[in-house]
Structure 1
Amino acid sequence: MQQPATPSRRQALATGLFGVTAALTASTAMTSPASADSGSGTDRARARARALLRRMSLEEKVGQLFVVEVYGQAADTVSAGNRTLYGVDTPAEVIAKYRPGGVIYFDARRGPDNVRDPLQTARLSNGLQEAACRTGARVPLLISIDQEGGSVVYRLADPATLLPGNMALAAGRSTADTRRSAGIIGRELAVMGINQNYAPVADVNVNPDNPVIGVRSFGSDPALCSSLVASAVDGYHRGRVASAAKHFPGHGDTDTDSHTGLPQINHTREELESIDLPPFRAAIAQGVDTIMTAHIVVPALDPSGVPATMSQPIITGLLREELGFEGLIVTDALDMQGASGRFPPDVAPVRALAAGCDQLVLAPRMDTAYNAVLAAVRGGEVLASRLDASVERILTHKFRRELFRNPYVDEQRAVRVVGNRRHRADAQAITDRTVTLVRNEGALLPLSSGARSVLVTGWGVGTTRALADAVAERPGQTAATLETGAVPSAARITEAAGAAAGHDLVIVAVNAAAAGSEKGAAQAKLVQALMGTGKPVVAVAVRNPYDIRRFPDVPAYLATYSYGTPSLRAAVRAVYGDLSPTGRLPVAIPTLDSTGTLHPFGHGLTY
């Protein structure tokens, strides 16, 4: 098996095997990412892209369209997952076979298990780039990830720094905190060789029952979302990683998850202009590199009923021509039901390319998808000029981001940077400014010295344990845990109510208690049973802030928007008064029957 390249050897590969690039860049120095938005820098990158494009075969061009997943923690890892998906054994062989434009990393929860720790991840990135520079036209990879911040959509866990999610940042109302948060994420990704983050989410979450966006959004106010989306884009660029606003033209008013179905947005064109499109306009104005499409039907924009990803009027007509976006357009994952449920593997990628998408993410049955696009171009179903336009944008982006000149990273630097002390301190300080006190009946909080024994119960083994640990760290405080699960049984609810009798205070963690399902109803019964004991109850919403709709009379209610440890520690500090909560709701919380408003947008108590 080939040994990994040393840094000096990788430098030789960058200047040698990327020989086409060396010739193209010999006359002028490559523009830096910080100045890549200048007209001259973009023009130089585009000229080099066109020169390289002329040297590429049709097969190499088609390969650049695809963003693939690979299984394993190293470029030479043999994995059955690669054999199943691609008919080859290792990530390096996947790169050699398809010559894709990009790779997307996942953790073990999906299966590929690419990101174990900073050193391993950096070595994987270097190994994949080395495989790319040995193949065909020797074009470096866009290596992407979904690292949105918060505890919902993320791939990198400890030791990577955990930053608040979007809705938490919106509760803090700070553009500076949002910029710094994105900057930390970006810097940690960049040192591991991950050069594109599929973030920020630019959807405006106007539907409390949205099952897929929720706290991933900056909230329900288009102006607030626009301001913070722009700040996040700026932050990622400061961290030297490309950004991607998603999910165009706006996924914020759905009640269907596009992973499992095909949602429809029934906003009028006027509502789209006032609600959904402003954050994308702000991202474009800030120089966002990439915009990701949504698998949603929007009749006001395209009455044909096809998902936005496959809609020429939406992708080319609206995004490219009307909004003037010149960067990369990437699809959301094509293996999601919103795409694959209606379009088979040989149709979806062709339709997305024809609509105007530049990169095709996670196309199912890669051999089928690749050959379908190849045949569509050869047969004239997709014009060669349409293909060339997308590949030119992909290459231009890679030139602007200096990937041809320096595709590799310093592996030991990744160890030093990821999760460093300053990043973690800043993350905790930012998180502290996001906690929102929604209800505090009778000034229950901050606690007096009388509450010594605390029962921590409710959703999540790790969540209840982290809350209890934060309580127990305080002098004179004791904490017991009784985790009840996402759908607490009647017996478990009775057990929790009985346990409450032996304690001075109950902290109950809730997650999706507002959902109109068995899960929501069961968690609501738990909170109501705890309230019935006569003990003081503090409910902590560790995801969506809407859960209080189910138990509006709970004595105290804190929203953290995340079950990450920094958020939970901040909540406990707020309970005891070490932290005065300053967050304000970035959404309105309606009554359970949605006929009125329980707590308005901007609401937030303090002490």
Structure 2
Amino acid sequence: MSDLRTEAPITRRQALATAGAALTLALGACSGAPASETPGEGPTVSDRPSGEGEAPEAEPVDPLTQQVEAALAKMSLEEKVWQLFVVRPEAVTGVSVQTAAGEATRKALAERPVGGICYFGANLTDTDQTRKMLSNTRDYAKEINGLPIFLCVDEEGGTVTRIAGNSAFGVDDMGDMCDIGATGDTDKAYDAAAYIGQYLTYLGFNVDFAPDADIANNPDGTMGQRSFGATADVVAPMVAAQVRGFTDAGILCSAKHFPGIGGAVGDSHDQSIYSDKTLDEIREEELRPFEAAIEEDVPFVMVGHLSMPEVTGDDDPASISSELVTDVLRKELGYEGIVITDSFEMGAATSALDTAGLAVAAIDAGVDMVLMPADLVAAHQGVVDAVGSGELTEARIDESVTRVLRVKLGRLG
């Protein structure tokens, strides 16, 4: 067992230096002198009489778009649908608690090439074990379909830690975000995110489901410690700072839980949660931290299971609501990144529909990735069957897979 402090000495500003050095190397590798013109091969445009033989100027081709389109074209419908799921490792391999990745993991990923895996405390023993497990999983996934895999964790600090809560990793817990918010100092929010991102990146993770963008404006709610504060004026700049911190540390992050569950009564892990606010009311407060995250190019937005009947006209959770996902998040806020649900193992989700129905409804609503369905095989088959029946179109699947591929190929390589 090794101490992460020993393996990778950490300062809160080190993430910037590390990211800067990596960027310099990347830019140096990609740079090169432009090819020179060969004289005598024909007249240049300036040599020709005006208007004679001039071809219209071609639109520049985006290499990433070409790469994404090529990858998408090679995928079967079943392979595309697998990319829309982020699951616990046990959902792929079938073991009771996974703490290693070997040949069984390789075979399981070949059968179920999911878009991502989310790890919890039971999966993470110490630095060496975690680095080896994640490295092997990353290599297997790339070998199987040529694509990076999202290796995810919930590491907010304070009450939500999978790494800092385990002394075997030897890292500091950044504490509850409410305490950082109370300082009013966005540099502290940035430093906490950069620090967390740096040690997660070292371990091999590439996605952290943080920061929490909820506004804890209900004293009876459950988000008081995790939220930066009780008003948008406090929370929004803190969230923006954390997105910058995670990004500078080289890890993808996710603003959560859209459209903002901090004012809800109850816990979505166990039961349905509601808000009676109108769309105009959440525009004034709850949506502002998400707008701040979007302005910082946050790669993921996680949609919670909050029911908002005054907005949607029914009791469906936000995670399967086209009014909230497509009309508000996509169209009104202009978000173009990956929309992922909160866990579909939660009571607030499972009380609405069965496993397959939830996955289909979420994608139909505009969601790109489904997090931890209660039954992965049933959820996958439900989406495939929905395309076969015409309930979903393959074009709709392609839309979400394209977003996933753009992030994977553009930001993970």
1:81 is displaced (CA, Å) by: 5.0
| Contact 2:148 2:409 (C-alpha < 8 Å) held by counterparts | no
Change (3 A) 1:327 1:277: same
Q: Secondary structure of the residue that 1:104 maps to in structure 2? A: strand
Alignment match, 2:4: none
Does the alignment pair 1:330 with 2:330?
Answer: no
Aligned partners of 1:41, 1:29: CA distance in 2, in Å? 18
**Do 1:70 and 1:94's aligned partners in 2 also have CA atoms closer than 8 Å?**
no
Shift of 1:95: 1.7
SS in 1 for 2:412: coil
In 2: Cα distance, 1:264 partner to 1:298 partner: 6
Q: C-alpha displacement at 1:89, in angstroms?
A: 9.5
Q: Which amino acid aligns with 2:148?
A: P
Query: SS state of the match for residue 301, structure 1?
Result: helix
- Aligned residue runs from structure 1 range 114-263, under 5 A: 114-135=123-144, 137-150=145-158, 152-156=159-163, 157-158=166-167, 159-211=170-222, 213-263=223-273
Q: Flag structure 1 segments of 5+ consecutive residues without an equivalent.
A: 1-27, 31-39, 83-87, 109-113, 404-607
Aligned twin of 1:344: 354
Residue 73 of structure 2 corresponds to which residue in structure 1?
54
| Greater than 2 Å deviation, 4+ residue runs | 40-47, 77-82, 88-94
Equivalent residue for 2:330, pick from 284, 306, 320? 320
Structure 1 or 2, whichever has the larger Rg, is: 1
**Aligned mates of 2:368, 2:268 — CA distance in 1:** 21
Deviation at 1:390, TM superposition (A): 0.4
CA distance in structure 2 between the aligned counterparts of 1:310 and 1:183, rounded to whole angstroms? 32
Query: In structure 2, what is the Cα distance between the partners aligned to 1:342 and 1:42?
Result: 44
Paired residues of 2:77 and 2:394 also in contact (CA < 8 A): no
Distance of aligned partners of 1:67 and 1:356 in 2 relative to their CA distance in 1, 3 Å threshold: same
CA deviation after TM superposition for structure 1 residue 43, in Å: 4.5
Residues 41 and 148 of structure 1, relative CA distance in 2, 3 Å threshold: farther
Shift of 1:401: 1.4
Question: Are the equivalent residues in 1 in contact too, given 2:221–2:263 (CA < 8 A)?
Answer: yes
Question: What SS is found at the alignment partner of 1:397?
Answer: helix
Quote the Cα distance in structure 1 between the aligned partners of 2:310 and 2:256.
19
Contact 2:177 2:228 in 1 (8 A): yes
Equivalent in 113, 122, 125 of residue 99 of structure 1: 113
Q: Distance in 1 between matches of 2:60 and 2:139?
A: 26
Please report the RMSD computed on the Cα atoms of aligned residues, expressed in angstroms.
Answer: 2.3
Equivalent pair of 2:214/2:261 in contact (CA under 8 Å): yes
Counterparts of 2:112 and 2:85, CA distance in 1: 9
Match of 1:354 in 2: 364
Contact 2:148 2:412 in 1 (8 A): no
* CA apart distance, 1:185: 0.3
When the two structures are aligned, how many residues end up with a matched partner? Answer: 351
Return 164-173 or 224-233, whichever deviates more: 164-173
Instruction: Give the conservation status (yes or no) of the 8 Å contact 2:269–2:346.
Output: yes
Select the residue among 78, 82, 90 that pairs with 1:63. 82
| Structure 1 residues 78 and 275: CA distance shift in structure 2, 3 A | closer
Which residue matches 1:79? 95
Once residues 46 and 276 of structure 1 are traced to their aligned partners in structure 2, the CA distance between those partners, rounded to angstroms, is 34
Q: 1:89 to 1:371 in 2, by over 3 A?
A: farther
Show the 5 A alignment for 1:133-532. Answer: 133-135=142-144, 137-150=145-158, 152-156=159-163, 157-158=166-167, 159-211=170-222, 213-403=223-413
Note the C-alpha offset of 1:161. 2.4
Percent identity over the alignment is: 32
Separation (CA, whole Å) in 1 of partners of 2:124 and 2:267: 26
Unaligned runs of 5+ in 2: 1-28, 32-58
The one-letter amino acid of 2:356's match is: D
User: CA–CA distance in 2 between the matches of 1:380 and 1:373?
Assistant: 11
